[in-house]
Structure 1
Amino acid sequence: MKKLALSLILFSMLACSKAPITGRTQILIVPKYEVLQQSSLQYEEVKKESKIINNQDSVKVKKVGNNIAKAVDTFLRSDPAYAGMADDYNWEFNLIESEEVNAWCMPGGKVAVYTGILKYAKDEDRLAVIMGHEIAHAVADHGRERMSQELIKNYGTATLSTLFNQNPTLATNVFFQAYGISSELVTLKYSRDHEKEADKLGLIFMAMAGYNPNASIEFWESMAADKEAEPLEFFSTHPNSATRIQLLKEYIASPEFSKYLR
């Protein structure tokens, strides 16, 4: 028992990482290559099972997404602390026909925006709020962190270093457990801490890309005013709108945020 506890402590120390900008400590024990491989495979499946839209809205989605992705790439390459991270992303942006009020970004930069959310994002600034937030989840490695939590919870800690070699289907199982993937919908099960962190990083990335961060206040105020929107799955793990709006206002007014404005 003592050996197991010591092994876990040592393994956790070796797997510790820091989230970009916020510096929050993370445990990332799932190999990065496994996460990126599973993300790419699952994204292709989603595209096969979905109706991809090609119209003016999809052009806007790609434009906003690519602008934010360029800002993220510039940021990562400009800081030695994040050296090499930029190469992990092979960005792709698609608009999917669905009434679901949803958007997501898988590890590696695979992004989907559902047409159902566009009624709340009628201009590029508000769309940047959504896409900046979802891209922030990927940049902060929330997906791999979530998978690591699922691995520890469901498979124990005694053989973490060899599980992936012994069980070739384990990566897929852990990926599905962490992401709650069904045949029609990807529901990313992030914690409230992850959501708050993605709000902050999303603001930074959209501002770096030249979008108005105050649009985040307008977006969430419009969501709060819509009594049907608040209970949706997309918002179920998020802070309630009033809390989120207050936190966003405070961060936008902070000296820390001002250094990221163009």
Structure 2
Amino acid sequence: MRRQSFGDSGAAPRRGGGLFGNVRWLVLLGFLVYGGCYYLSNRTEDPYTGQTVLIDGAIGPEQERALGLQAYREILAQERPLDPADPASQEIREIASRLIAKVDVVSAALASEHGMRAQDHWRQFEWDVNVIPSEQANAFCLPGGKMAVYTGLIPVARTRDAMAVVMGHEIAHALLRHGAQRMSQQKLAQIGQMAGAAGGLDAQQQQMMMAAMGYGYLLPYARSHETQADEVGLMLAAAACYDPNEAIGLWERMGQSSGGQAPPEFSSTHPNPGSRIQNLQALMPKALEYRQRFCAPPPS
């Protein structure tokens, strides 16, 4: 006959009960409710795409511009740009000027397609463009209109038309407020991470949860940003009298320049060049129509 130790009543131990377990579930529920309220209360419709997007109401265009200016100054302090009188700088600045001149009409046209009014936050942009010596085949446009093109992009682009497609794409990121959207998504992900910790998930389980959120939500959302910027940028280039067809050759060369080292699309923030080209080909009739509508004939 088994002898019970002192205090052993023989009853099976209770699992997950008690005050601590109840509090944990309440905290988890609180985080989930907070995350849901954050998402629902910060959704807005984007007139460029007609889609519902997440932008934290506390992140205003003024804050975005300030962050963009700070980042721009830091970059230029580390990477000295070419002299504005350099022929490459002059050419890039001319392309930027033509694209910026068409932001108003393209913004209005895209918003009209979705039955909405165009945004005007970009009217407060203080545009600036620099060319940075580097082997990178890259460019950027920060919130507030601070732009840079790396010289490594010039031989990949080859033509002014292709360069206009890239620069239009980068300008589109700023117009679409993708920076604010990314910050909002990161906050939502942090809420999810805190909910997982409150729910008792260990470090490995939390890592798995965040990976699932990344592959299922964050990465697809980032790829959608690229697709949106491709469309808006293509319309800008076409309206500014550049040939949108050059986008196809551009992305073929971009794919070749990566040497096939790009990660699979599902694990990347960018669509692969094949998907991108297919989407751009589908947009080409619309781009050509924008070119016909908004490209003013050169003076005689």
TM-score where L is the length of structure 1: 0.76
Question: Counterpart in 2 of 1:187?
Answer: none
Q: Give the secondary structure class of the aligned counterpart of 1:12.
A: helix
Question: Counterpart in 2 of 1:31?
Answer: 59
Counting only pairs closer than 5 Å after superposition, residues 40-189 of structure 1 correspond to structure 2 as: 40-54=69-83, 55-76=86-107, 81-154=117-190
Q: Deviations over 1:109-152 (max 9, x none)?
A: 11111011111122210110110111111111111101111122
Q: CA deviation at 1:157?
A: 10
Q: CA deviation at 1:50?
A: 0.9
Distance 1:152 1:205, change over 3 A: same
RMSD: 2.7
Q: CA deviation at 1:257?
A: 4.1
Preserved CA contact (<8 Å) 1:96 1:114? yes
Preserved CA contact (<8 Å) 1:18 1:25? yes
Preserved CA contact (<8 Å) 2:238 2:287? no
**Partner Cα separation in structure 2 for residue 51 and residue 232 of structure 1:** 29
**Partner Cα separation in structure 2 for residue 48 and residue 208 of structure 1:** 34
**Partner Cα separation in structure 2 for residue 258 and residue 115 of structure 1:** 28
Q: CA deviation at 1:220?
A: 1.4
Counting only pairs closer than 5 Å after superposition, residues 172-211 of structure 1 correspond to structure 2 as: 191-211=222-242
**Partner Cα separation in structure 2 for residue 136 and residue 103 of structure 1:** 12
> Number of residue pairs matched?
227
Question: Counterpart in 2 of 1:249?
Answer: 281
**Partner Cα separation in structure 2 for residue 227 and residue 118 of structure 1:** 12
Q: Does 85-94 or 126-135 show the bigger shift?
A: 85-94
Question: Is 1:239 the counterpart of 2:297 in the alignment?
Answer: no
Q: CA deviation at 1:40?
A: 0.6
Gaps of 5+ in 2: 1-25, 195-220, 295-300
> Which amino acid in the other structure matches residue 158 of structure 2?
K
Gaps of 5+ in 1: 159-189
**Partner Cα separation in structure 1 for residue 123 and residue 100 of structure 2:** 12
> Which amino acid in the other structure matches residue 96 of structure 1?
I
Preserved CA contact (<8 Å) 1:73 1:86? no
Question: Counterpart in 1 of 2:5?
Answer: none
> Which amino acid in the other structure matches residue 42 of structure 2?
A
Question: Is 1:220 the counterpart of 2:251 in the alignment?
Answer: yes
**Partner Cα separation in structure 2 for residue 14 and residue 237 of structure 1:** 26
Preserved CA contact (<8 Å) 2:31 2:191? no
**Partner Cα separation in structure 2 for residue 215 and residue 100 of structure 1:** 20
Distance 1:24 1:129, change over 3 A: same
Question: Is 1:16 the counterpart of 2:43 in the alignment?
Answer: yes
TM-score where L is the length of structure 2: 0.67
Q: CA deviation at 1:198?
A: 1.1
